[in-house]
Each structure stands twice: as C-alpha cells, then as structure tokens.
Amino acid sequence: MQKNIIFEDKHIIIAYKPAGIATQTARVGQQDMVSELKNYLAGKPEYKGRKESYLGLVHRLDQPVSGLLVFSKTKQASAELGRQITNGQIQKFYYAVVYGKPEVERGTLTDYLYKNPKTNRSVVVKEDFPQAKKAVLDFELIKTMLALDENSDLVNFAKSNKLGVVSLIDIRLITGRHHQIRVQMSHAGMPLLGDMKYGGELSKELSRRTGCRNVALCAYKLTLFHPVSGEKITFEKQPEGEIFFPFFSSGI
C-alpha cells in the first residue's frame, strides 16, 4: 500500500487506487483501499497503542476505475474536505480511452441522470423525470489511434461505421453523479473501453479482443485546498493500465 501513497502529512493522505480494488467494501475477505490504509496507519510508530486509526473517506471511485483519492486523517480535516466536495472546490480530472472519436475536439456534456437502485445502473432521462439529477462534464480530445491492426476484421467493420479508432479523452468532472462519466460518454456515442455495463457492442467486442478487463478510466489529477493551511494543492499520476500505454509511450 505504501507504494500507492502519493502524499501524506498529519491531516490527509493522497493515494492511487488501482483498477479492480474497491474504495470501501463490507465484503469479508475482499481488498479495499480504506482497510489497506487503516492497516498501513496502524503499523506506524505514532499509532502504536491506539484501538483504531481514524481515516475519513472523502470521495469514491468505482471498483473497475483507477486513480487518485484523498483521505482525511482527522475529523476536522474530514469536515473541511467534505465542505469542499459540497461546494465543488475539489476538482477531479480523468483520462478515458473511448471507442470512436468525438465530433468536436472539446465540449461540454449536460444530461439528467436517474440511478435505478434495483439494478445499480444510471440512465439518461428527461429533466422532469422523478429523482433526476443534473450531470455536467467537460471533455477534450487528446489523441486518436487505430483500435487494432489495420487488417483486423473488427477494425475494417468499424471503419465502415466511422468508428475504427479509439481516442484518449481528458475529462473534467463538474458534478459527481453515480457512474456519471461512463453513462454520459456512452450516451454521447463514445463508450469507454472495458465498460461491460454501459458500452456498446463494438466497444465490448474490442475490449474482449484487447484484454481490457477494467473500465479504461483513470482519475489522474486532483486539485483541492489543504484542510488546515488552505493552500491550493494539485496531485497528478499517469495511468498505469495497459490500455493507456499506447497513448503515453510516445508522449501526448
């Protein structure tokens, strides 16, 4: 766990969550970030003798998604970071690998989402739909490349549908809704690779062929105000998933 800690002081921990690990879970025997960090803190000399080390969960990432998370080490820090989340002062940026290419290089997606508690799925609905919540994100196209070898049957078929490429998209999350990025990008015709819940048939098939088992989404940058000093601080980490490697190996 220590290798995944990006920053730590007396008040907060910034940690990188690998894809496939839950942020927090009640399932016995399943690894999660909260438990791992509590075990890490319990092993530190300054925590010796304490019944349990305090660790506040400020925000979450879906289990198949990787990226940066901020945790609080005191109740005071937890309250201040919670206030920043509510006020939109904590900014979160993501890299996503999507199937296809956006029609514009940058833009804003604004939708209304409804979370179905029975299926744990969110869907785009009309603004007046009961319990609908507004969802907003900004996106920018960074780089596009062929999905597979040019002679691949899948790519040839996809080319005829103008979807023969995958794209790296930089996303700034304005609101924080359930599965928001995955739902909105899929609804806009740019499903994320590895997303078997919201992806289309072509993106799912490509995910299987490329061995992309987790959602190709990484929270690579996090900006917040330190809960004690008030200093604006930013943390960044390049995605580790194999699906991202072709985009970053030659620079972006």
pLDDT digits (tens, 9 = 90+) for 98-144: 998 899 999 999 999 999 999 999 999 999 999 999 999 999 999 99
Report pLDDT for 151: 52
Report pLDDT for 152: 52
Pairing of strands 217-225, 66-72: parallel
Pair 136, 109: CB distance under 8 Å: yes
Report pLDDT for 148: 58
Sorted by sequence, the CB contacts under 8 Å of residue 148 that are 6+ apart come out as 154, 155, 206, 209, 210
Higher-pLDDT residue of 29, 188: 188
Q: How far is CA 128 from CA 59, 109, 111, 182, 246, in A?
A: 28, 18, 12, 22, 42
Pair 144, 100: CB distance under 8 Å: no
Higher-pLDDT residue of 249, 237: 237
Q: How far is CA 95 from CA 15, 103, 240, in A?
A: 17, 18, 11
- The per-residue pLDDT for range 52-97, each reduced to its tens digit, is 788 999 999 999 999 999 999 999 999 999 999 999 999 999 999 9
Sorted by sequence, the CB contacts under 8 Å of residue 73 that are 6+ apart come out as 10, 11, 12, 13, 41, 53, 54, 55, 56
Pair 143, 102: CB distance under 8 Å: no
> What residue ranges in the chain does DSSP mark as E strands?
5-8, 12-17, 56-57, 66-72, 91-99, 106-116, 121-125, 133-146, 165-173, 217-225, 232-236
Residues 143-155 have a mean pLDDT of 64
Phi and psi torsions of 192, nearest 5°: -75, 140
Higher-pLDDT residue of 85, 156: 85
- The per-residue pLDDT for range 162-210, each reduced to its tens digit, is 446 899 999 999 999 999 999 999 999 999 999 999 999 989 988 888 8
Phi and psi torsions of 154, nearest 5°: -65, -45
* Least trusted range by pLDDT, from 28-37, 71-80, 112-121, 239-248: 28-37
Q: Indicate if the pLDDT at residue 7 is higher than 50.
A: yes
Rounded to the nearest 10 degrees, the angle between the axes of helix 201-210 and helix 153-160 is 160
Report pLDDT for 162: 47
pLDDT range class, residue 159, cuts 50, 70, 90: low
Q: Which of 219, 243, 99, 250 is nearest to 167 (CA)?
A: 99
